[in-house]
Amino acid sequence: MIPRKTDWQELENFLATFSLLTKNFFHDLDERAVAITHAKLPDLPMSTNGLDFQSALEVLCDHVIPQLSASRGPRYWGFVTGGATPVATFADWLVSTFDQNLSSSGDSVATQVEKQTIRWLCQLFDLPESFSGIVTTGATASNFLGALCSRQFAGQKQGIDVAKEGVAGLSVEIFSTTPHASMLKTLGMAGLGQNCVTKVKSLPNSEQMDVIDLDNKLSESTVKAKVIIASAGTVTGTDFDDLESISELGEQYQCWLHVDAAFGIFERLIGGEKTRGLERANSITLDCHKWLNVPYDCGVFLTRNLDMLFNSLNVPAPYLQTNQTDPDFLSLGVENSRRFRALPVWLSLLTYGKKGIADWVNRNVKLAKFFAKEINKSQDYELLHDCQLNVVLFRPNCEGLSDIEATQKTKKFLKAINLDGRVFLSPGLWQGKQCIRAALSNWETQTSDVDIVMQCLTDVANNF
């Protein structure tokens, strides 16, 4: 089948089919297994002449759609994953329809929408106007930009333009306690090294950075440039580093401070006690496809030092116009080809406002604490860590078991829970103990969902 312009005459049929598939997916969401743990796609041959659309659609409906997870549903708790609100979903449909490339300005209003989105996000999280940034594919891309900025900062202190001259001879030390795996990944991508992180001690029974140990290590360091990577919500325990104290040390020792606040930044909407000092960071990572509940994939990188980002990524070319005072996104991000990811964020902020977003964030936090209490009351399970925000760590009752036996039992329970289909949870390691991790961040999650999950856990325990 060869695409023809006349195919658009079938637009109404396309829309009708799209509407039917969408309605059916949403209607069946509660009945669909939250995760398909044994999905298998047939080894279909590549089509030579192509199928007619109806035949291709049948392949999609037979082999793909039935094996998709209910990740947008209210009990997909394995990761901090939002469910995509109706407004964000609608906007994402339009993104493909409009098919804009946001690499540079001058041919549409789309780049202005992204810049306004960044300003609105800074207002949403009470960050100073000195922050600016760019929409990315997610926390990994944002952390990569943070790594590039810190690398450029280190070079500037030594008279080296790292983006142009490379990292050879660069003197830099990176300090962190519980960096996310994506942060380590991006340090490797930036040439700084996954293993070249000075480990700062954590506080007892916590993943939070020990500020006294950080101070000691910074004072002992003899390198020319220092970088601190802090966490606003660690991936397992959801612990928050003391950003106020860390910022003080960062300024004292002239460090670059990058904060991975992928979902923890939303704590600023419900009090902000844990994220006080975030506004003093040099750069911040946040995800919109987490607690803002927009479709995958969408993250944001924010910085008070846009010049570092520009100098890291700008490459002059005859066909590209660059402006350092108001740079285009192609000089601020990894990709030159950029989807209109800002639109679902922009329309969500415009529609729901700060109060609407804070409402579902607050509800998720309350439900997570309620779930933690239910786990704590259960005879079949044990709570491993106080619920800090929206993540609950637990395991089956392992009283009297050795560490190896407890690990094996926990893994078996998790496998059985996910096979059940009522909820999807993920594994974790807490203070050396294998655990089960539940993260609540979906705008639709209600008390009834916690009840369903508790019944699932009870049923699994009764079958062991």
138, 144, 149, 150: CA torsion to nearest 10 = 120
What pLDDT band is residue 464 in, cutting at 50, 70 and 90?
confident
Q: How many CB atoms lie within 10 A of CB 109?
A: 10
pLDDT score, position 319: 60
DSSP string computed for 408-429: HHHHHHHHHHHHHSS-B-EEEE
pLDDT recorded at residue 9: 77
The pLDDT tens digits of the residues spanning 375-397 come to 999 999 999 999 999 999 999 99
Residue 363: per-residue pLDDT: 99
pLDDT tens, 78-133?
Answer: 999 999 999 999 999 999 999 999 999 889 999 999 999 999 999 999 999 999 99
What letter would DSSP give residue 262? T
125/119 Cα distance (integer angstroms): 10
Task: Judge whether residue 2 has pLDDT over 90.
Answer: no
pTM score: 0.96
pLDDT range class, residue 75, cuts 50, 70, 90: very high
Looking at the predicted structure, is the pLDDT value of residue 1 above 90? no
Task: Pick the range with the lowest mean pLDDT from 103-112, 168-177, 309-318.
Answer: 309-318
pLDDT of residue 106: 85
State pLDDT tens for residues 187-212: 999 999 999 999 999 999 999 999 99
Residue 184 in 3-state DSSP? Answer: helix
Spatial contact of 53 and 8, defined as CB atoms under 8 Å apart: no
Q: Does domain 350-462 have CATH number 3.90.1150.170?
A: yes
pLDDT for the residue 321? 61
In single-letter form, the type of residue at position 235 comes to V
At position 455, the amino acid (one-letter code) is Q
CATH architecture of 101-339: 3-Layer(aba) Sandwich (3.40)
| Confidence check: pLDDT of 6 > 90 | no
Domain with CATH 3.90.1150.170 in the chain: 350-462
Q: Following DSSP, what letter does each residue of 230-276 receive, concatenated? A: EEBS-TTT--B--HHHHHHHHHHTT-EEEEE-TTGGGGGGGT-STTT
What's the chain's length in residues?
464
Is residue 374 within 8 Å of 382, Cβ to Cβ? Answer: no
Residue intervals in the chain for CATH 3.40.640.10:
101-339
Pick the closest to residue 449 from 368, 387, 376, 394 (CA basis): 368
Those residues whose C-beta lies under 8 Å from the C-beta of residue 341, and which sit 6 or more positions away, are 95, 114, 135, 136, 137, 297, 298
Q: DSSP string covering 264-322, please?
A: GGGGGGGT-STTTTGGG-SEEEEESSSTT---SS-EEEEES-HHHHHHHH---BTTB--
Tell me: pLDDT of 322 over 80: no
Is a pLDDT exceeding 80 seen at residue 331?
yes
- State both tokens at 285: 């990572």
Range of weakest confidence among 46-55, 183-192, 212-221, 286-295: 46-55
Compute the average pLDDT of residues 412-416: 98
Alpha-carbon distance of 361 to 288, in angstroms, equals: 13
**What's the mean per-residue pLDDT of the chain?**
96
